[in-house]
Structure 1
Amino acid sequence: MDHSHQHHHGRDPAAASFPIDPAGLPEATRPAVIEPGDGDVIALAVGPVAKRLGDTTVRMLAYDGSVPGPTLVVRQGTELVVDVTNRGDLETTVHWHGLRLDNSSDGVPHDTQAPIAVGGSHRYRLRFPDPGLYWYHPHIREDYTQELGLYGTILVRPADADYWPGADRDVVLTLDDLLIEDGRIAPFSPTETTHAAMGRFGNVFLTNGEQAPSSLTAAAGEVMRFWLVDTANTRVFNVRIPGARLKLVGGDSGRLEHDEFVDEVLIAPSERAVVDVLFPEPGEYALEHRTPVGTHRLATVTVSAAVPAERPGPAAAGFETLGGAPDLPAERAGLDAWLAAEPHEVLSMVAEMRMDHDMDHGDMDHGDMHHDHGHHGMSHGDATAGGIEWEDEMAEMNRISTPATMRWSFIDPATGGAPDWRFTVGDRVKIRLVNGLESDHPMHHPFHLHGAGRFLVLARDGVTEPNLVWKDTVLLRTGQTVDILFDVTNPGRWMAHCHIAEHMESGMMFGFTVDA
């Protein structure tokens, strides 16, 4: 990536770069639901659309003309071929997030495929070994392309019809935000990532691509299953539905060890959560993002009277029952030895601020980088409660930070250098992730491992994980240490990275090898 680009304050960095005019473009549509059969071939096209947001229309990017892209509904154990055509703004790939597949279809530019040129196409061969919700997005300049709407979902139905508890209806929801300034999407530099320090926090919330949609409906006494995925560049969502009962039943890759009743569900960028919701009475219910800084309505669910009222939906009768994943009790039984073992690998997350590189010292108060927030009118406790950055308190500094001035990295503390991982199919690897406080800007990081396998969280800050679930992404709060157990199943060259798009583009990624 070219870091020689100079910052010219007051000049629009988008003027000579990515197009912004929506005139003449097709209006963005609602996402289709595609249910291909085993071995089918489908087409997916990347291209610009005009997207209405309130009183303004902006130019965005879409898969098949919709934001988000189509939801693919497939059966566990099947295969699918996807032909992707690129009519977007820059070369691209598609990463099939969370799928354990052949690494040639993983979508990492130069590692597993040549980028798809504008006007070009590429064929992906997908496999679906695990039930749950997965998603797809680009792996080139995600800070721009994913922010502009290139993301879609994949719902993998289990081979075992009794895998999930009963639900009356399924709703897949992408949770996202978009930064709008002066009636349009805040500009991007064509040569480097901006907002590198904290990531690009949006000020407009999008649920399935819409602002606070009110189209969701249910009947009193019904159980609605929400399949949630956080597709935002950097924002962590804390989801609540006041007045309804929430039961968390699944995570990134399938069912929880134990279903549990919850008041709220925390989802970091790229994580998924499967939540069963019982609406006890007719009325309007707000799906909210609630943080110490404030509450935002993400969607409204209109609940009608049950018909007949004395006989609720068939799923409600089993709602009080707390079941769990069929395979995870066996994993729990073998956990003690892994908890006691020393980690095979340790990974530290580090920010290095380069004050003397390509930035006017007057633009940044060095104290800002260390969370000296008193003069911003918001207390340290509000915006960083629980080790999570809930909002961008340092917007001007964040906007002008780039990989040249803010370098994020993973360090192997044993060598002081980049991690050098080599595993073999069949390995189980204990990895210690350390998000220490000693770097220039401690912040939360959603750590993602590509489809070489899947992992269980063993412990957070030495406390054994009470409820296991197979994962591909784990949130590291500021100052936190997390131990994971990586189950290595697929050979090839793979990627690991922070799923804050701007952090990944600023160096927070590395490749590793799995031998057959």
Structure 2
Amino acid sequence: MNTHHHHHHDQSGEFPADPSGLPEAGRPALLELADGDTLDLTIAPVAKRLGEATVRMLGYNGSIPGPTLRVVQGSELVVNVTNHGDLETTVHWHGLRLENRYDGVPHETQEPVPVGGSFTYRIQFPDPGLYWYHPHVREDYAQELGLYGNIVVVPAEADYWPPADRDLVLTVDDLLLGDDGRVVPFSRGETNHAAMGRFGNVFLTSGEPHPRLAARPGEVVRLWLTNTAGARVFDLRLPGARMKLVGGDSGRVEHDEFVTQVLLAPSERAVVDVLADEPGELTLEHRTPDHTYPLATVAVVGEPVASVAGEAFEVLRRDPELTAERETLGPWLTAPPDKVLALVARMDHTAGHHDHHGHHGQGDDGGHGDHGGAGGHAVSDGIEWEDEMAEMNRSSTAETMHWMFVDRTAGTDADTVDWRFRVGDRVKIRLVNEMDSDHPMHHPFHLHGAGRFLVLARDEVAEPNLVWKDTVLVRTGQVVDILFDVTNPGLWMAHCHIPEHMHSGMMFSFTVAGA
């Protein structure tokens, strides 16, 4: 039993790391694509310069991030993907409610694309907003090494967004480099850093260690922000400029609001308008309880602009659709959940000591104290901001660290999650991040394109500003209620978006039957 966990005897070494002779990674192209267009997307290794170091990474169409796709809501694209990378792959179109067979889940919606092979996707864009694409095979390696790109879906409705003068599409990410100036190696045979995920020590904003961006005084700059990191939650600030939150994962927020920070968990998005009213330099920062990390500079230079968007910046707009949803939510807030899912960790006692004959520890109640609680971790507000357990984390694998979803709907613990929905269903799902785990940690919970959801409440506090989402951050010890609007039939995945947690068991699939 559980033989599929035992690939550690077959670790055919590490993925290649030598950048010599590879083309230098380019900057992402902005591709304006019309309904019915065909896009060719090629995966191949690139040499990426990061300050003094040059490292071997992977790119879509030779760039990191891959090309930004700009498409109109309601259009359809044909995407021919060719794989010249290091391992088999798929492309997952994150957040898009598309046809199930193009969702990019290996062995479930398609066979993985072998090295040298190709696959054609037909993708649809039913919702405006900001989405992204990435692999769904060994994301701990392939996505980490640069396989990610953004999709901006332009609304069919003309004044869907408030006016803006300039768009900056930005990914925030981190990468772990060793003292030798190379990316810390990945095993071909297993996922390590399983306890916490791989926290990087180099920050990449749109693939660059510290890009310089430009704006004119008086402009409203729209930041399209995606967290493409594996495990790190970003707390983004832009001191000296006013920020207005206008959108989230899938379209606009219920009501625009002025904010001083934007918290993004892995795979979440935010759309933020910034008023750059004074000349000077603005720094995009990531703040943790202990550090401020500069990520990028926005140089506000040149002749001031008399901006229509600047005039409209003070106006806080409301979304009529979400305002209408709000009026129906009362009964859902008080209703018992339809599904209850606990997020649980079980660590073999030998974790980190390379004893691979692990029991799976489900029935084992002793010894949680070593890993439980906040002792010695950089935990604040239920978020692990840094990897404070680097040695233990690096040596933990899916052999010793078991991340699980436990279905508590029936009041008992079911390790197998067997959910069946129908198109048209609305489902209240309660996510419980157990403190009584061997290593409680935050989890970005992601539902694939069967639908989209609203966060109803966090710890019984009603969500003050609704937005359609596909990923929600569940902090340590937190209970989050979401309302899932089921729209697309097929077999769909749900998982923690920290790849190391997913590969250690934190995933399941559910079925949606046609209406």
How far apart, CA to CA, are the structure 2 residues paired with 1:154 and 1:166?
20
Asked whether 1:327 is paired with 2:321, we answer yes
Q: Give the CA deviation at 1:2.
A: 4.6
Q: Give the CA deviation at 1:213.
A: 0.7
Q: Which residue in the other structure is 1:218 paired with? A: 215
Q: Give the CA deviation at 1:219.
A: 1.2
1:19-64 deviations in whole A, cap 9, x for unaligned? 1111111000000011111011110000100001111111001100
Q: Is the Cα–Cα contact under 8 Å of residues 17 and 190 in structure 1 kept in the other structure? A: yes
1:313-334 deviations in whole A, cap 9, x for unaligned? 2200000000022310110010
Q: Which residue in the other structure is 2:75 paired with? A: 78
How far apart, CA to CA, are the structure 2 residues paired with 1:371 and 1:338?
32
Please, which of 407, 411, 427 is the counterpart of residue 412 of structure 1? 407
How far apart, CA to CA, are the structure 2 residues paired with 1:452 and 1:479?
27
Q: Is the Cα–Cα contact under 8 Å of residues 87 and 115 in structure 2 kept in the other structure? A: yes
Q: Which residue in the other structure is 1:175 paired with? A: 172
Q: Is the Cα–Cα contact under 8 Å of residues 7 and 190 in structure 2 kept in the other structure? A: no
Asked whether 1:102 is paired with 2:99, we answer yes
Q: Is the Cα–Cα contact under 8 Å of residues 358 and 404 in structure 1 kept in the other structure? A: no
Q: Which residue in the other structure is 2:201 paired with? A: 203
Q: Which residue in the other structure is 1:423 paired with? A: 421
How far apart, CA to CA, are the structure 1 residues paired with 2:41 and 2:374?
46
Q: Give the CA deviation at 1:249.
A: 0.4
Q: Give the CA deviation at 1:359.
A: 2.6
Q: Which residue in the other structure is 1:392 paired with? A: 387
Asked whether 1:262 is paired with 2:259, we answer yes
Please, which of 446, 450, 453 is the counterpart of residue 451 of structure 2? 453
The 5 A counterparts of 1:219-368 are 219-307=216-304, 312-356=306-350, 359-360=353-354
What is the DSSP-based 3-state SS (H/G/I as helix, E as strand, rest coil) of the residue aligned with 2:434? Answer: coil
Q: Give the CA deviation at 1:161.
A: 1.2
Q: Is the Cα–Cα contact under 8 Å of residues 306 and 312 in structure 1 kept in the other structure? A: no
Paired residue type of 2:349: M
Q: Give the CA deviation at 1:280.
A: 2.0
Please, which of 42, 45, 55 is the counterpart of residue 45 of structure 1? 42
Asked whether 1:139 is paired with 2:136, we answer yes
How far apart, CA to CA, are the structure 2 residues paired with 1:99 and 1:293?
36
Moved more, 127-136 or 318-327: 318-327
1:420-470 deviations in whole A, cap 9, x for unaligned? 100000000110010110111110000000000000000000011110000
Q: Is the Cα–Cα contact under 8 Å of residues 3 and 192 in structure 1 kept in the other structure? A: no
CA distance 1:33–1:67, change in 2 (3 Å)? same
Q: Is the Cα–Cα contact under 8 Å of residues 43 and 61 in structure 2 kept in the other structure? A: yes
Q: Is the Cα–Cα contact under 8 Å of residues 372 and 435 in structure 2 kept in the other structure? A: no
How far apart, CA to CA, are the structure 2 residues paired with 1:44 and 1:265?
31
The 5 A counterparts of 1:497-512 are 497-512=495-510
How far apart, CA to CA, are the structure 2 residues paired with 1:416 and 1:515?
26
CA distance 1:460–1:46, change in 2 (3 Å)? same
Q: Give the CA deviation at 1:202.
A: 0.2
Q: Give the CA deviation at 1:17.
A: 2.7
Q: Which residue in the other structure is 2:371 paired with? A: 369
How far apart, CA to CA, are the structure 2 residues paired with 1:295 and 1:154?
29
1:269-317 deviations in whole A, cap 9, x for unaligned? 000000000012100110000110201111000001543xxx6322000
CA distance 1:366–1:513, change in 2 (3 Å)? closer
Q: Is the Cα–Cα contact under 8 Å of residues 368 and 437 in structure 2 kept in the other structure? A: no
How far apart, CA to CA, are the structure 1 residues paired with 2:386 and 2:337?
34
Q: Where do 5+ consecutive residues of structure 2 fail to align?
A: 356-366
How far apart, CA to CA, are the structure 2 residues paired with 1:325 and 1:124?
32
Please, which of 418, 440, 443 is the counterpart of residue 441 of structure 2? 443
TM-score, normalization by structure 2: 0.94
Q: Which residue in the other structure is 1:377 paired with? A: none
Paired residue type of 2:372: H
How far apart, CA to CA, are the structure 2 residues paired with 1:326 and 1:117?
46
Please, which of 3, 7, 17 is the counterpart of residue 6 of structure 2? 3
Q: Give the CA deviation at 1:355.
A: 2.0
Q: Is the Cα–Cα contact under 8 Å of residues 352 and 396 in structure 2 kept in the other structure? A: no
Count of aligned residue pairs for this structure pair: 496
How far apart, CA to CA, are the structure 2 residues paired with 1:403 and 1:325?
44
TM-score, normalization by structure 1: 0.94
Q: Give the CA deviation at 1:513.
A: 0.0
Structure 1 vs Structure 2 CA RMSD? 1.6
How far apart, CA to CA, are the structure 1 residues paired with 2:276 and 2:168?
14
Q: Give the CA deviation at 1:368.
A: 5.2
